[in-house]
A = this chain, B = another copy of it.
Amino acid sequence: MSREMVLEKINQAVQVLNEKGIDMWITFVREMGIIPDPMKDFIIGTNCTWQSAFIITRTGDTYAIVGSLEVPNMKVVGTYKNVIGYLKSIKENLIEVIDKHNPEKIAINFSRNSALSDGLTYGMYLELTNHLKSTDYIEKLVSSEEIIAALRGRKSPMEISLLREAVSETIKIFEEVGRFMRPGLTEKQVAAYMQNVTKQKGFGLSWEREYCPSVFTGPDTAGAHSGPTDREIRNGHVLNIDFGIKFRGYCSDLQRTWYILREKEDVPPEQVVRGFNVIKEAIQLAAKELKPGKLGWEIDDIARQYIVRSGYEEYPHALGHQIGRVAHDGGGALLAPKWERYGNLPFIPIEEGQVFTLEPRLTIKDYGIATIEEEVIVTKDGCEFISPLQTEIFLIKSE
């Protein structure tokens, strides 16, 4: 992000601190080249080597306390108003800055629920509480997860337009691979083709290149979050692809499904069409109820129940996640069932300006997996699709 975008996010953070009644937010880090806090690009905009504290207060003051050698760099980067260098230990400067603001609530980056709000390592937590042990600030520490969820979730107009462009470029790549696809190609060949096209266009991948794209063809495939294999595309396969690009720092995440016609087939078998349509309808039913104030599990449940009532197994994952600078973004509301592995995220109210994926899945016996993944932005009283919808299963003609 540019300095301007970081400063915009810091300003937004000051507003959120006031809204949430939190006096001070400390991002406490070291060696970010080795283990970066997930908020680094948002509210810092550079790296640091030694223990460093990036402090934002509800009064709008900002302090970067860094190793003395990194003071000049921090001044050049220019994202913090006060840059303080230390030589031997950060402790005294840190306490001095906190003292000046006498906060009642101090947010730090830990969260049982969201990795995005959990940049503080346990060793650094021990260091921080050791620095503060002669004060009563330890009892005032709270999780920054609400602040981070607001900052990452509520997209600015600039962010929304980048997310839209990321989607639209992704759709073009799906169209290209649709023309390339034919029986005899392997999942790996299809994936390599898409990665090449993406590279030629100068885009990044939305997640790890091992499974971006994921390509699954036919029955008994490896399943979501697996890489493409040497399995060959054959007539009579349902094939689906999960793919996203990184466009100027912003990610897309979409899925599309194809059917490879058999000789003499003009249309897919009835059970393939039915499976595809159940997914399509599940997305529409969920989107109809998606609006500010709803809880994620309620939206997930609509799609999940519809699929189960239609006679399919429920999908073993969440209906959808927020998306932004990373594919699994947000750190707040998640459209997930009430399973322990999702922590409290399914219970956090949905807010305006959040962008979600909707990505149910079902297995069509003997054919493969049907999925569609669309993206929506939450509006004042509903949601709006930002991806052009897949309304029919794409067909590959046998030659």
Interface size for chain A: under 10, 10 to 19, 20 to 34, or 35 or more residues?
35 or more
Number of copies: 2
Quick check: is A70 within 8 A (CB to CB) of the other chain? yes
Are B69 and A223 within 8 A (Cβ)?
Answer: yes
Q: CB of A366 within 8 A of chain B?
A: no
Which of A44-52, A262-270, A273-281 makes up part of the contact surface? A44-52
* A19-B226 Cα distance, complex, nearest whole Å: 36
B-side contacts of A158, CB under 8 Å? none
Among the stretches A87-95, A232-240, A351-359, A378-386, the one at the interface with B is: A87-95
| Contact pattern, A 116-133, Cβ under 8 Å of B = 1, otherwise 0 | 111111111111001000
**Interface check A177, CB cutoff 8 A:** no
Say yes or no for A113: interface residue by CB 8 A criterion.
Answer: yes
- Measured CB to CB, the closest approach of chain B to A43, in angstroms, equals 15
Query: Residue A256 at the B interface, CB < 8 A?
Result: no
Q: Which residues of B contact A328 (CB under 8 A)?
A: 31, 33-34, 49
Contact A51–B127 (Cβ < 8 Å): no
Residues of B within 8 A of A121 (CB): 110, 115, 118-122
Question: Is the pair A123, B116 in contact by a Cβ cutoff of 8 Å?
Answer: no
Which secondary structure dominates where chain A touches chain B? loop
Asked if A105 is at the interface of the complex by the 8 Å CB criterion, the answer is: no
B residues in contact with A113, CB < 8 Å: 123
**A52 CB, min distance to chain B CBs, angstroms:** 10
- A204-221 residues with Cβ-Cβ distance < 8 A to B are 207-208, 210-211
Chain B residue at minimal CB-CB distance from A221 = B72
Least CB distance from A312 to B in Å reads: 17
Query: Which of B73, B112, B127, B143 meets A112, CB within 8 Å?
Result: B127
Count chain B CB atoms within 10 A of each CB in A70, A87, A114, A225 and give the residue with the most: A225
Asked if B118 and A120 make an inter-chain contact with CB atoms under 8 angstroms apart, the answer reads: no
Asked if A31 and B115 make an inter-chain contact with CB atoms under 8 angstroms apart, the answer reads yes
Cβ-defined contact, B226 with A73, below 8 A:
yes
User: Could you show 17 A-B contacts with beta carbons less than 8 Å apart?
Assistant: A30-B115, A31-B115, A31-B328, A33-B208, A33-B327, A33-B328, A34-B115, A35-B36, A35-B38, A72-B222, A73-B225, A76-B222, A86-B341, A114-B123, A120-B121, A121-B122, A122-B125
Q: A35-B118, A112-B126, A112-B130 are in contact. List 9 more A-B contacts (CB 8 A).
A: A33-B328, A35-B36, A47-B210, A49-B328, A72-B222, A73-B225, A87-B339, A112-B127, A120-B121
Residues of A within 8 A of B (CB): 30-31, 33-38, 46-47, 49-51, 67-70, 72-73, 76, 86-91, 110-127, 130, 143, 207-208, 210-211, 222-227, 229, 316-317, 326-328, 339-341
